């Protein structure tokens, strides 16, 4: 009788396959190279309405569920706000589609392929680094331009002429932080706590340690943590304390950082803290005692407390729509969409252009244009896809960021 | 047909089914075209199917619960992929390179399976399960700290910190970068290679199960003491099943990794082991057909749910479907109904209630 | 001094593992199922505590004793109540229909429930982490350079209390004896007039209430709360329960504390990078020497 059940399963599957096949039958062009005439690319079955209004199909993948969901949902929300704003202006129109990749390379490729079937013309890559490496390879292969909000590892852009980043590249952050600590003479003995199974953390740590050695900063303690081992930091902190570190460098996201700060406080250890852009968001954690983060320094391109009009309008809108304060992932994704709008406008691109034509136009635009956004003024991009923007040194005082 | 034993009939139907599915899919793709999403999933599905078959050999046939099979997959994935990258200049022909990589992955995984099998197979039941889980975690942790470089002088290794890069000659390449895993993997896995691997796995498993060794393995599963009393070396036969299973998992790992351009050791964590166990249990323990179908169905399910724009509810729906399927397939009433239907379907003889229903206990 | 401080940190961490392992081992011992959703019930308990404490905190004067105690107690009660209800519901809907099914089918269902709770929590409470206030404040007792936080002291005390209470309960009450009978032989227990179904449901209710307590203490010690918070302690507690001998109540406590101490020493003296591998290697060695765990009963195989 198990066989019978298996048979039923098989039938269910066949129907499922047939269903997808059926959808696809109308768009035979989806798997052909994107050099096809634009006319064949446009009529994707799912969105005839979008074609009528002439919108650019903008797709992205990110972890919308699972352990990394905070980053993916923030980016998707930030991008959605930007799309709504731009569409309301009546000029360039976007249709946004964010697919879940659960922070996994295989799922990211599937999500990417789903977007391709949908008829994606320009892409927001993936939110996290490893999945983005996988989708960036597909972007390169299919000649679909990608501008990732937050996938910061070098392997994302390496060897791909059509993949660009909105965030800093990891190595830049590491060396900039070491340089900053050295220039400001913040400490001579430094401890580093990093996440051993995370590309982002490891990338920053590597360049930080290399730069520190070059500058003569002494790294007295280096300890790690990993997924599934990221709640208890007493040992790491004890080691840093015993080694006499005056400053602890935390290349990580704000969730583990919040635990480190509270545990250090509990054991009475109060060094200087130095974070990276992933630390942004710590002040807006629901229920977080901001006095714990007093004096934390970080290099970040965005802070939700900034007084300028653009940031305040964005934060307000985000809060009204999603009930939370946006972090830098949201801001990066928001900037991505605006950068696209600017580039598409400058290139006189129209939604009936094929992905490959748009790709060439975007490469030409991004390597020459200058863009002002929430996460920096006067951003420029190199041909390697890396962004150049000035990181702002911030210090937390009385529960708010103050420029250093 | 009548001359064939029931076992060989099952195995021929299974081979035929896989080949038929392959031919139909290829024809359909040629005539109408599959969506990119399905095309992208074909190789991972083949890898998961092979994993499910491999685990079924241990859980269903040999009767040992393994919660660390993703560990063997990762050993195969990392060794096979490293070999494929290193051999890029030596073997220009991609399919051959893939085959060599899968064999190397299988060998390394088999070695790991043998070494781990020595302590593991001395234990029973849930204790055996937790030790396999422990080994899976250890493998993950080791791979997360392993650095392997390759240059003209050969391979270089280091552990915990990257001392490889400075030691390498000009033009050397860091292949495995600890927690960064492997980046820039050449995508050489194909659906055809995947189906061949599934067929190889089926041939190996059916031949094992229908051999003297296979009967000894199942005898040891059903009653260890009775098996021992008739002179079966239980540990040896269980080891055979375990090592073969590990080797198949390793080959599947190589295939899987080389369909993506990047891999990290964390991919092969406890959750992946559990996912594969779900395939096996849903498909019916010891039932190879069931493992193939359930692995395919459960891999496709969350992706097909994308169609419905469920956003964050997607995985919630997946969880509910999983629970409902488990309850439905184990519901005595539904089982009776299904049994009756099957009996009517076969007409001649009513299906014996125990057919294919080997349970874990 | 370093040694002592590591030891204390290890015991602190271990006491958290122990309190989770107690609920785990209880359910395993009686229902003979690995309840992989236990960690996620703990996560729900943590969220309940968060809502109670953050909702009530503003109703009391800043710094007053009542401001810590009342929301803390309310959080504990709410967590226990909700977790018990949740546990009973899960048992009724997902596990009870599978009473006659092979144990692996139940295991898979438990994993389905675990996915469901994690994703449900994300839908309801978003994936943004929340910081839960400790139910007894942030204070610590310090002895020279060593310090032990109040939360840890409370955890150890609660842990021992639960262990004693459970041991007494299973040894001396009617229901407890019924539970032990079920764990020995369900069929024989049924023949003796024990309602096996009700007994197993009761076990789940108690196990889930314990998960509620564990959730509150866990989030008090490690305040960052996310939908996936339960996954880690789930696996670690499972390991701890096996360490001590699964099904054994004192074993779960011992296993939890040992696990915490070994993990801390491995991090402190060997390497933070491979501490997990070391913990699991020690587990393997222990199981090879004592195949049923430290305090587990070695059941002789019958022919």
pLDDT at residue number A131: 92
pLDDT at residue number A45: 40
* CB neighbour burial string for A74-103, b if at least 16 within 10 angstroms, e if fewer: bbbbbbbbbbebbbeeeebbbbbbbbbbbb
User: Domain-by-domain residue ranges, chain B?
Assistant: 6-330
pTM, two decimal places: 0.87
Our CA dihedral for A306, A311, A316, A319, rounded to 10 degrees, sits at -90
Domain limits at C157?
2-229
Q: What is the percentage of chain B residues whose pLDDT exceeds 70?
A: 93
Q: Do A1 and B351 touch (CB under 8 A)?
A: yes
Question: Is residue C261 one of the residues assigned to a domain?
Answer: no
Q: Which residue has better confidence, A394 or B242?
A: B242
Closest Cα to residue A17, out of B62, B28, C265? B28
Question: Is residue C105 one of the residues assigned to a domain?
Answer: yes
pLDDT in tens, B306-334: 888 776 788 888 899 889 988 888 877 77
pLDDT in tens, B42-53: 999 999 999 999
B256 within 8 A of B44, measured Cβ to Cβ: yes
A60 within 8 A of A98, measured Cβ to Cβ: yes
pLDDT at B266 over 80: yes
pLDDT at residue number C128: 83
Q: Which residue has better confidence, C296 or A8?
A: C296
A 198-227 residues with CB < 8 A to C: 223-226
Closest Cα to residue B43, out of B181, B185, B195, B184? B195
pLDDT at residue number B85: 92
Residues on chain A touching B329 (C-beta within 8 angstroms): 5
CA distance B250 to B113: 10
Q: How confident is the model at residue C300 (pLDDT cuts 50, 70, 90)?
A: low
3-class SS at B92?
coil
Size of interface A-C (CB pairs under 8 A): 104
Nearest to C127 among A73, A230, A268 (CB): A73
**Is the Cα dihedral B165, B167, B173, B175 positive or negative?**
negative
3-class SS at A396?
strand
pLDDT in tens, C208-244: 999 999 999 988 888 888 898 888 777 888 888 888 8
Crossing angle for the helix pair C2-31 and C38-56, to the nearest 10 degrees:
120
Q: Do A235 and C268 touch (CB under 8 A)?
A: yes
CA distance C211 to C202: 14
pLDDT at residue number C299: 60
Nearest to A2 among B187, B297, B357 (CB): B357
Nearest to A196 among B35, B38, B179 (CB): B179
B27 burial type by CB count under 10 A (0-12 exposed, 13-18 middle, 19+ buried): exposed
What tokens appear for C299 in the block?
């059941």
A214 interfaces chain B, CB cutoff of 8 Å: no
**Chains touching chain C, criterion 3+ CB pairs below 8 Å:** A, B
B 44-73 residues with CB < 8 A to C: 59, 65
Our CA dihedral for B312, A231, C158, C77, rounded to 10 degrees, sits at -30
pLDDT at residue number B3: 59
Number of domains in chain C: 1
pLDDT at residue number B4: 64
A 278-307 residues with CB < 8 A to B: none
Beta pairing partners, A191: A221, A248
A289 Cβ neighbours under 8 A, 6+ residues apart: A262, C131
Our CA dihedral for C250, C255, C256, C259, rounded to 10 degrees, sits at 160
Q: Nearest chain A Cα to B262, which residue?
A: A134
Question: Is residue C166 one of the residues assigned to a domain?
Answer: yes
C212 within 8 A of C84, measured Cβ to Cβ: yes
State the residue for tokens 């619960």: B65
pLDDT at residue number C1: 66
Nearest to A198 among B28, B179, B329 (CB): B179
Q: What is the percentage of chain C residues whose pLDDT exceeds 90?
A: 32
Nearest to C130 among A196, A265, A287 (CB): A287
CA distance A297 to A276: 8
B352 burial type by CB count under 10 A (0-12 exposed, 13-18 middle, 19+ buried): exposed
Question: Is residue C259 one of the residues assigned to a domain?
Answer: no
Q: How confident is the model at residue B347 (pLDDT cuts 50, 70, 90)?
A: low
Best probe of the B interface among C92, C96, C119, C285, by most B CBs < 10 A, is: C119
Domains of chain A: 54-168+319-388 (3.40.50.2300), 170-300 (3.40.50.2300)
Question: Is residue C253 one of the residues assigned to a domain?
Answer: no
pLDDT at residue number A36: 36
Question: Is residue C244 one of the residues assigned to a domain?
Answer: no
Average pLDDT over residues B112-120: 93
3-class SS at B214?
helix
ipTM associated with this complex: 0.86
Q: Do A285 and C131 touch (CB under 8 A)?
A: yes
Q: Do A266 and C264 touch (CB under 8 A)?
A: no
Q: What is the percentage of chain C residues whose pLDDT exceeds 70?
A: 96
Per-10-residue mean pLDDT for chain A, 404 residues long?
46 44 37 36 39 79 87 93 93 92 92 93 93 93 93 87 87 84 88 87 89 92 85 90 92 89 86 87 81 85 81 92 88 94 92 92 92 88 86 80 74
Question: Is residue C301 one of the residues assigned to a domain?
Answer: no
Q: Nearest chain B Cα to A153, which residue?
A: B180
Best probe of the A interface among B38, B46, B265, B284, by most A CBs < 10 A, is: B38
| Alpha-carbon distances, residue A299 vs A145, A154, A275, A282 (angstroms) | 29, 19, 7, 13
pLDDT in tens, C113-170: 999 999 999 989 888 888 887 777 777 777 776 778 888 888 889 999 999 999 999 8
3-class SS at C247?
coil
């Amino acid at each position: 009788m198990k066989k019978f059940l298996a048979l039923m399963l098989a039938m269910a599957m066949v129907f499922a396959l047939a269903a997808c096949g059926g959808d696809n039958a109308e768009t035979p062009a989806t798997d052909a190279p994107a050099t096809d005439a634009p006319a064949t690319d446009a009529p994707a079955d799912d969105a005839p309405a979008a074609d009528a209004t002439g919108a650019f199909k903008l797709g992205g993948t990110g972890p919308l569920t699972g352990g990394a969901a905070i980053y993916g949902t923030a980016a998707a929300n930030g991008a959605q706000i930007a799309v709504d704003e731009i569409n309301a202006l009546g000029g360039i129109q976007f249709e946004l589609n964010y697919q879940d990749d659960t922070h996994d390379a295989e799922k990211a490729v599937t999500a990417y392929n789903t977007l391709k079937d949908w008829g994606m013309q320009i892409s927001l890559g993936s939110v996290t680094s490893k999945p983005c490496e996988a989708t960036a390879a597909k972007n390169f292969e299919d000649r679909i331009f990608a501008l990732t909000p937050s996938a910061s590892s070098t392997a994302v852009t390496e060897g791909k002429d059509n993949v660009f980043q909105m965030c800093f590249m990891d190595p830049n952050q590491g060396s900039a932080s070491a340089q900053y600590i050295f220039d400001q003479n913040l400490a001579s003995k430094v401890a580093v706590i990093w996440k051993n199974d995370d590309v982002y953390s490891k990338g920053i740590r590597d360049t930080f340690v290399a730069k520190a050695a070059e500058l003569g900063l002494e790294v007295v303690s280096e300890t790690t943590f990993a997924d599934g081992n990221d709640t208890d930091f007493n040992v790491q902190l004890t080691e840093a304390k015993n080694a006499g570190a005056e400053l602890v460098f935390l290349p990580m996201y704000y969730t583990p950082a919040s635990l480190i700060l509270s545990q250090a406080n509990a054991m009475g250890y109060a060094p200087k803290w130095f974070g990276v852009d992933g630390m942004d968001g710590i002040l807006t954690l629901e229920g977080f005692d901001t006095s714990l983060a007093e004096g934390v320094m970080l290099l970040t391109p965005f802070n939700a407390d900034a007084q300028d009009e653009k940031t305040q309008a964005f934060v307000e809108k985000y809060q009204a729509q999603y009930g939370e304060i946006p972090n830098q992932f949201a801001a990066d994704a928001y900037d991505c969409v605006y950068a696209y709008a600017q580039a598409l406008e400058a290139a006189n691109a129209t939604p009936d252009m094929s992905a490959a034509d748009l790709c060439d136009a975007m490469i030409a635009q991004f390597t020459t244009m200058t863009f002002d956004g929430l996460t920096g003024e006067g951003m420029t991009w190199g041909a390697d896809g890396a962004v150049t923007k000035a990181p702002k040194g911030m210090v937390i005082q009385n529960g708010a960021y103050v420029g250093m | 047909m009548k001359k064939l034993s029931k076992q060989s009939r099952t195995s021929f139907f299974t081979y035929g089914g896989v080949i038929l599915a392959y031919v139909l899919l290829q024809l359909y793709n040629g005539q109408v075209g599959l969506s990119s999403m399905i095309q992208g999933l074909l190789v991972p599905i083949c890898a998961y199917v092979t994993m499910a078959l491999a685990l079924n050999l241990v859980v269903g046939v040999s009767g040992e619960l393994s919660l660390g099979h993703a560990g063997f997959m990762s050993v195969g994935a990392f060794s096979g992929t490293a070999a494929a990258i290193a051999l890029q200049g030596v073997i220009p022909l991609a399919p051959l390179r893939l085959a060599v990589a899968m064999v190397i992955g299988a060998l390394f995984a088999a070695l790991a399976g043998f070494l781990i099998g020595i302590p593991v197979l001395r234990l029973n039941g849930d204790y055996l399960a937790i030790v396999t889980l422990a080994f899976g975690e250890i493998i993950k942790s080791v791979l997360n700290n392993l650095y392997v470089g390759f240059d003209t002088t050969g391979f270089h290794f280091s552990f915990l910190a990257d001392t490889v890069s400075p030691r390498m000659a000009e033009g050397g390449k860091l292949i495995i970068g600890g927690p960064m895993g492997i980046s820039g993997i050449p995508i050489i896995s194909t659906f055809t290679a995947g189906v061949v691997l599934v067929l190889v796995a089926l041939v190996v498993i059916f031949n094992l199960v229908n051999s003297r060794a296979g009967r000894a393995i199942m005898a040891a599963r059903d009653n260890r003491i009775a098996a021992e009393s008739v002179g079966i070396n239980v540990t040896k036969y269980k080891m055979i099943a375990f090592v073969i299973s590990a080797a198949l998992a390793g080959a599947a790992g190589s295939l899987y990794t080389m369909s993506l351009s990047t891999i990290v050791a964390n991919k092969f964590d406890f959750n992946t082991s559990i996912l594969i166990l779900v395939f096996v249990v849903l498909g019916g323990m010891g039932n190879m057909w069931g493992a193939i179908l359930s692995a395919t169905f459960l891999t496709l399910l969350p992706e097909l749910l994308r169609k419905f724009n469920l956003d964050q509810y997607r995985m919630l729906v997946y969880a509910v479907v999983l629970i409902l399927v488990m309850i439905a397939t184990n519901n005595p009433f539904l089982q009776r109904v299904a049994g009756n239907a099957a009996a009517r379907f076969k007409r001649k003889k009513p299906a014996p209630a125990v057919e294919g229903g080997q349970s874990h206990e | 001094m370093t040694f002592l401080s590591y030891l204390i940190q290890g015991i602190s961490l271990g006491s958290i593992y122990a309190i989770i392992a107690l609920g785990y081992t209880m359910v395993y011992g009686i229902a003979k199922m690995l309840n992989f959703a236990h960690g996620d019930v703990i996560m729900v308990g943590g969220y309940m505590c968060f809502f109670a404490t953050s909702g009530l905190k503003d109703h009391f004067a800043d710094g007053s004793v009542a401001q810590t105690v009342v929301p803390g107690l309310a959080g504990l009660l709410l967590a226990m109540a909700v977790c018990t209800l949740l546990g009973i519901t899960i048992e009724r809907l997902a596990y009870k229909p599978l009473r006659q099914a092979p144990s692996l089918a139940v295991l898979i269902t438990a994993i389905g429930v675990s996915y469901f709770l994690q994703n449900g929590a994300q839908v309801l409470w978003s994936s943004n982490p929340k910081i839960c206030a400790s139910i007894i404040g942030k204070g610590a007792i310090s002895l020279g350079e060593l310090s032990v936080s109040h939360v840890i002291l409370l955890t150890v005390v609660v842990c021992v209390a639960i262990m004693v209470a459970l041991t007494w309960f299973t040894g001396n009450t009617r229901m407890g004896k019924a539970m032990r009978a079920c764990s020995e032989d369900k069929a024989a227990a049924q023949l003796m007039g024990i309602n096996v179904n009700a007994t197993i449901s009761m076990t789940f209710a108690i196990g889930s209430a314990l998960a509620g307590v564990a959730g509150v203490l866990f989030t008090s010690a490690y305040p960052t709360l996310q939908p996936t918070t339960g996954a880690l302690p789930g696996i670690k507690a499972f390991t701890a329960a096996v360490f001590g001998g699964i099904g054994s109540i004192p074993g779960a406590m011992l296993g939890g504390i040992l696990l915490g101490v070994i993990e801390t020493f491995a991090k402190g003296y060997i390497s933070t990078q491979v501490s997990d591998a070391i913990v699991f290697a020690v587990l393997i060695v222990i199981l090879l020497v004592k195949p049923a765990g430290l305090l587990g009963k070695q059941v002789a195989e019958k022919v």
